[in-house]
Amino acid sequence: MRKGVAHGPWFFALVAGLACSAVAVASMEAIPPVDWSQYADTETIKVVTVDEDGEERETTIWIAVVDGKAYIRTGGTMWGDNVERNRAIVLRIEGTEIPVQVTFIEDHDLREEVAATFREKYGFSDSLIGFIRGSHPRIMQVERRP
């Protein structure tokens, strides 16, 4: 008759690893994904970045939603330079703060599709801004981060 089983260090490492994995999965599930389509008609949002001196910068910008994904863009702006340094930013939309991670879009076809969505949504104002900003703005997809 066995009174107990001796477990080596590997057993305790395995149990600890499984416990950590369970906690990580539970915490990921606690953050619901963003339904970006609910913001497709939102005119302006705020983007919050951090300047080189550590000061928070809040800037009013436009947002476009294409195929359920959210996109923002800028020309040669201070907040755009901030995003180049740190892609973890915050969007303030209709009273809600959403921490996001930015991915710069270089794919030509996707850039054209996003640009067309901005043109359709913002009309003449978009054309005017495009003339001032130039022909190759920084277009970014935003995705929620924990």
- The model's pLDDT over 32-63, given as tens digits with 9 standing for 90+, comes to 889 999 999 999 999 999 999 999 999 999 99
19-36 in b/e form (b: 16+ CB < 10 A) is eeeeeeeeeeeeeeebeb
Structural domains of the chain, ranges and CATH numbers in brackets: 36-144 (2.30.110.10)
- The model's pLDDT over 110-137, given as tens digits with 9 standing for 90+, comes to 999 999 999 999 987 776 665 555 567 9
Reported as a pLDDT band with limits 50, 70 and 90, residue 9 is low
Percent of the chain at pLDDT above 90? 66
